[in-house]
Amino acid sequence: MNGTDRAARIEALLAEMNLDEKIGQLNMVSADLSVSGPGRRALPLADISAGLVGSVLNWWGARDTREIQRRAVEETRLGIPLFFGFDVIHGQRTIFPIPLAEAGAFDTTLWERTARVAAQEAAEDGLHLTFAPMLDVARDPRWGRIAETPGEDAFLGAAFADAKVRAFQNGDLSRNGNLAATAKHFVAYGLVNAGREYAQVDVSERALRDVYLPPFRAAVEAGAAAIMPAFTDIAGLPMHAHRELLFSLVRERWGFEGVFISDYSGIAELVNHGVAADLVEAAALALKAGVDIDMMGFAYLKGLPGALERGLVSMAEIDVCVRRVLGLKFALGLFDDPYRACAGDVPDFATRALRRALARESGARSIVLLKNRHDILPHDAGHGTLAVVGPLADARHDMLGPWCALGDQDESFALLDGLYGRWPREWILHAPGATIDTTDETMIESACAAARGADCVILCLGESRSMSGEAGSRADPSLPAAQLALAKAVMALEKPVVAILFGGRPLILPDWLVEASDALIAAWFPGSEAGHALADILTGVCNPSARLAATWPMAAGQIPIWFGQRPTGRPADAKEMYSSKYIDAPVEPRFAFGEGLSYTNFLLGDPQPDRAVLQRGETMSISVCITNAGSRRGRQTLFLFTRDPVASLSRPLLELKGFRQIDLDAGETGTVTFELAADDLAFTGCDLSSVLEDGCIEIHIGFSARRTSLRSAAIELKTSTDATA
């Protein structure tokens, strides 16, 4: 159907609809198969049959969605189909690593592949739309939802947005196996005060434009079907009522043509925010801001008729939102075939096996090796006895992480499962030693007894899945005291220890734990194939290649912490009292953005720009030689950072402008080339417009954002197009 015919059909439908039916299209309700917000409610079947519901979340299954769709299509006056949405964040049934972990693969192709499988499985379950990708730039590990983000950097977030949106939607929303993407949570949700969920947000206009908006703009440019506003406010104006950002910026300036879907009860919560006296005012504010769909707030259902009577909104404004919702349903192909996602397709064995293989690959590609003293890893599979201790060693449920959709713990694998496939069972001694947050002398002694009888200890520590994700804010994102007590006891035995850290955030680690561990691994929540992926890393079947997408602090007092901070007039100086430092902690992080080790070593040459002067409108190439100086094949990630040392505004010490990967055999040398456009060096100036300024630009290339390890060059930026200027 062409655009003209579609528009005509939408207008014909609108002309037939009464007010209740129009508002019904803007009303999204939740079933009780999953809980994604406060309270539980059964699916309101009578409202669906009456045409008072336009879309449903938390309901799945081909047979069940078909029956609910039948009610909408066959029992309502106009037969307008529903669409079904769900939080498919990092997999539907096959669960992949949490986004913060998968972002650390720094591989757009891998991100696309996992999103395609997630979309296919969701479509097989009768779903049309996912509330993903989450694109909040997050620099505060106290905030539990950092687990769902691609990390701390805007450039990385934009790349993640582009890959995920394109892969979910795959060009044509009406085709089977494709899923409408919802970019969330617009915008700056990751800046909640003190890392506390749903708290206030204050952000400068410049930071908003340079840091927090770019991932969402990338999602819009990739064609995202929907955007979800954040629960939070910005400087006192809640996002669900923020017309300037939702309408003026995203719709008018960016050209977004999709739908805005409220977060769970977000419109009704405008009353709690104190900007609306009742649901009538809340509904009017949200509608005028451009929010098309009210998810579980019932503010539109209960408030819009009154808002219309009071003159707070017009019928024309309601019609605009209804048009967009109907347009999405046409794009999804639901008017051509309302049951197109209800066929009950079941993947064959070969397809399921390929999906599990991808989960295993992505799990291994997301695990970060942070320390490897004396090359204790990799272990030769099946050689030597292992003591596998800690509460996460056999925690299949926790390996799936938060927002794991329909992931089944009975079909997931913990570390023990993976090791049992590589070692004779009698060579593996297992004792939990603690629960997540409790232990006693008997449990610790049992773990120590296992450690004494082993050649090496695998110590599995960290968070349960419920400690991360939404409503998972932690004032102190450290390991629980019970686990630290276990770790101290085990490490006192002076056995070789490989510490594996599970969780959804950067964790604050005591110095003694880092120093006493012979190897340290950030496993995050690796997904369905966690155990096999970890076994592949521990035994060297996979050479670790993941890098940190978020900085790990030394202490809670360093939070928020990220690599791209601006310089201060008094840089930290241990010899100078009046400098920017702490008196009780270092300034440097525990682990920097981009850090991670391999089982081989790489040597990096100096950056070689292809020109000394970069003119406005031009793009330059920057090449660097890299050598695998180790004894095995490996993959390395290289980061391109820039710095503008003298500008009209103080600029960040480092800005990420690119990342590339290269695979090299032992002894092999290769060349990695980055492209850098002059426009990539623009920034938000004093008057909040984008500016490009003449001057020296530093080029830094390296394996992480730790500045002491970078190799550097410099170019001159000329903003005049006249080469003689």
**Which residues are identified as catalytic?**
263
DSSP secondary structure letters along 165-225: HHHHHTT-TTSTT--EEEEEEETTGGG-GGG-TT------HHHIIIIISHHHHHHHHTT-S
Residue type present at position 403 = W
Distance set, CA 64 to CA 67, 241, 544 (Å): 5, 35, 42
Rounded CA gap, 126 and 569, in Å? Answer: 57
Interatomic CA distance for residues 17 and 483, integer angstroms: 61
Cα–Cα dist 557/569, whole Å: 21
Distances, alpha carbon 596 to alpha carbons 75, 535, 688, in Å: 58, 18, 37
Neighbours of 511 (CB within 10 A): 9
Q: Tell me the pairing of strands 83-86 and 129-130.
A: parallel
Q: Give CA angle at 374 (391, 413), nearest 5°.
A: 30
Instruction: Quote the CA–CA distance of 122 and 84 in Å, as a whole number.
Output: 10
Q: What are phi and psi of 355, to 5 degrees?
A: -65, -40
Tell me which DSSP letter residue 71 carries: I
What three-state secondary structure class fits 663? Answer: strand
Q: What is the SS3 string spanning 603-624?
A: EECCCEECCCEEECCCEEEEEE
Contacts (Cβ under 8 Å, ≥6 apart) of 78: 13, 16, 17, 21, 51
**CA pair distance 652, 566, nearest whole angstrom:** 4
Closest to 294 (Cα-Cα) out of 249, 246, 229:
229
CA 643 to each of CA 145, 657, 714: distance values in angstroms, whole numbers, following the listed order: 30, 10, 9
In contact, 219 and 165? CB cutoff 8 Å? yes
Residue 697 burial (10 A CB sphere; 0-12, 13-18, 19+) = buried
Alpha carbons 725 and 721: distance in angstroms, whole number: 8
**Residue-wise burial string across 585-608, b where 16 or more C-beta atoms lie within 10 A, e elsewhere:** eeebbbbbbbbbbbbbebebeebe
DSSP type of residue 121 = H
In angstroms, the CA 225 to CA 329 distance is 11
How far apart are the C-alpha atoms of 681 and 717, rounded to whole Å?
A: 9
Residue reference for tokens 């500045």 = 707
The tokens describing 424, both together, are 């004779």
Distance CA(433)–CA(388), nearest Å, equals 10
Nearest of 132, 118, 188 to residue 161 by alpha carbon: 132
**Pairing verdict, β 634-643 and 695-702:** antiparallel
